[in-house]
Amino acid sequence: MKNPLLRKILAVGGLTRSGKLMEATAAIQRALSSVASPPLRRAAVGPVAVPETEPPRDLTDVLDGFVREVKSNLRAANEAANEAGIAEAPVVIRPAGPRFGASSFTGAAGTRAFKLFEPAGFDHRPLPLVVMLHGCTQDPDDFAAGTRMNELAQEQGFFVLYPAQAPRSNAHKCWNWFSPPDQRRGAGEPSLLAGMTRHVIETHAIDADRVYVAGLSAGGSMAAILAREYPDLFAAAGVHSGIAPGAAHDVASAFMVMKSGPGALRSARPAGASRLAGAPIIVFHGDADTTVAPANGQALISEALGAEPTAVSEVAGGSDRGRRAYERFVWRRADAPADSPSLAEHWIVHGSPHAWSGGAPAGSFTDPGGPDASREMFRFFNEHPGRAQKR
């Protein structure tokens, strides 16, 4: 038999059927490690890492089936042991360590590569997912390094999905937030990113009620579109140095909005845009940003609040352990108690440029001196458990 993956799959099946669950677990882990990190190559027109080869889809599906079978048998064995009063420690499958693997997703609107961070040590219980959308000229590795989101994910237990914009779709690898076909549900890049997110939810131990999206600059602008158009998928959103949906309709208007703020260019929702209430949003913006005018941060808050009768229920300021000074505003419904989940939160970081606040120097477009935007966004996400909150 020439296919080594197929040999491993058949071996796992034999072990499972003969009741050798621990041996099957070890075989699964060996097989997964052999396909988990395919070799990477650099794209000719940009530094987006994409898989050189991918395992055959039908074979990996079979392997996933064996994984589910072994897990089910292990759970049954543990339950039987507990009922019988057996004192031995339960058998669990423990991953060897966190993984940051590369793959791709194809939808009706095209194909995009992505990287997925999977934390270790959480016993396969469903975990939250944060979708991170990079800014122009960035890629998933750069964005992960700059935001330190993977370190936070391992500490607190959540998956992180990093879609990669293709240079063929935008020469500077910007998400096309300014293009009307890419501003509405069921079309263009929003549909592709929503489809990729659903694919990851279906194939990993993810809590579908706790799925969030965040991004920087062009990525933040696209995150705001996803929050507005897919509130049934994303429970909350984080936008750093971004622009409100519908504020531009082409490249020329995009540059005008970036320079001066929405102003007269603010438009109604584009044709076909969702009429659903958008997901709650946390906005970070530096008041020294010369790439995207700080006025865009307030426009994002106004877009998120809409006609909802609201009031600023909390205002804070200062600096965090010697970091940059900031102001923080929290909006809740006018008649809501002070401890109810907020509708929106706005951080204005004084003296910060066009950069991820509190980010690491290892990544591009970061401001290490600012308050920790990654940690504050995940704190905000934890306050908004999504559909579970509404039931």
- Closest residue by Cα to residue 217 from 334, 106, 88, 353: 353
Determine the Cα–Cα distance for residues 27 and 15; give it in Å rounded to an integer: 9
Q: Is 355 helix (H, G, I), strand (E, B) or coil?
A: coil
Burial-class residue 211 by CB neighbours within 10 Å (0-12, 13-18, 19+): buried
Determine the Cα–Cα distance for residues 168 and 133; give it in Å rounded to an integer: 17
Active site residue 217: yes
The sheet carrying 325-333 orders its strands as 99-107, 110-118, 159-163, 127-133, 206-216, 236-240, 281-286, 344-349, 325-333, 310-319
For strand 236-240 and strand 281-286, is the pairing parallel, antiparallel, or unpaired? parallel
* Calculated CA dihedral for residues 299, 300, 303, 309, nearest 10 degrees: -90
The stretches of 237-354 forming alpha helices (DSSP H) are 251-260, 295-305
Determine the Cα–Cα distance for residues 41 and 161; give it in Å rounded to an integer: 20
Collect all residues with Cβ–Cβ distance below 8 Å to 82 and sequence separation of at least 6: 90
Catalytic residue among 103, 169, 191, 217: 217
Q: Is 181 helix (H, G, I), strand (E, B) or coil?
A: helix
The tokens describing 364, both together, are 């591009």
Instruction: Give the number of other Cβ atoms within 10 Å of residue 382's Cβ.
Output: 14
Estimate to the nearest angstrom the gap between the alpha carbon of 179 and the chain centroid.
22
The tokens describing 188, both together, are 């263009």
Catalytic residues: 217
